[in-house]
């Protein structure tokens, strides 16, 4: 039984689990499997399924990955109606990583996120010591 996903890890097109190469973007599954874990997490923030994005958000909140703060904000702003996702992004931005990048990311959410709950959570997180 194959352990490959039902989506291409590169372009997220539906993919037969036995495929060695994506018929849409041409990505080789073996090459994608070899990517760095942090890189995979950042890319998962663009996945079409909300539960996949949420798992990536939670994981990024527990580890320090370069570029995570900006990618998390971009994810929250791309899915503004998913308030739970936005609140988890705020929680993840309280985790490990460069403090300046986290503060800038929280400030951007305060300014730009359309959901009041997310803006308020980001404001409180930014003001926390």
Q: How confident is the model at residue 7 (pLDDT cuts 50, 70, 90)?
A: confident
pLDDT at residue 33 in the model: 82
- Please check whether residues 60 and 26 belong to one and the same domain: no
CA-nearest of 85, 83, 19 to 46 is 85
Given a cut of 80, whether residue 5 has pLDDT beyond it is no
Residues 47 and 84 in one domain: yes
The answer on 82 and 46 residing in a single domain is yes
> Residue 59 sits in which domain range?
38-127
123 shares its domain with 98: yes
Identify which of 119, 1, 21, 82 has the alpha carbon closest to the alpha carbon of residue 9: 21
- 27 and 77 belong to one structural domain: no
> Same domain, yes or no, for 16 and 54?
no
Domain count, the chain: 2
Residues 103 and 45 in one domain: yes
Q: How many CB atoms lie within 10 A of CB 10?
A: 18
Shared domain check, 73 and 117: yes
Q: Is the model's pLDDT at 44 over the cut of 90?
A: yes
Between 67 and 6, residue with greater pLDDT = 67
Does 56 score more than 80 pLDDT? Answer: yes
For residue range 99-109, what is the model confidence (pLDDT) as tens digits?
899 999 999 99
Distance CA 127, CA 14 (A): 42
The whole-number pLDDT of residue 29 equals 87
Cα distance between residue 109 and residue 15, in whole Å:
34
Please give the pLDDT value at position 1: 44
Asked whether residue 82 falls in the same domain as residue 44, the answer is: yes
Q: In the prediction, which pLDDT does 73 show?
A: 98
Residues 24 and 66 in one domain: no
């Amino acid at each position: 039984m194959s352990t490959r996903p039902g989506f291409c890890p590169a372009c997220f097109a539906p993919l037969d689990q036995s495929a060695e190469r994506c018929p849409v973007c041409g990505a080789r599954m073996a090459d994608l499997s070899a990517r760095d874990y942090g890189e995979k997490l950042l890319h998962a923030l663009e996945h079409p399924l909300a539960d996949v994005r949420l798992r990536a958000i939670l994981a990024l909140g527990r580890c320090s990955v370069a570029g995570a703060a900006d990618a998390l904000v971009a994810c929250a702003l791309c899915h503004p109606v998913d308030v739970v996702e936005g609140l988890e992004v705020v929680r993840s931005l309280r985790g490990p990583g460069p403090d300046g990048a986290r503060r800038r990311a929280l400030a951007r959410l305060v300014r730009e996120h359309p959901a009041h709950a997310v803006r308020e959570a980001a404001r409180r997180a930014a003001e926390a010591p």
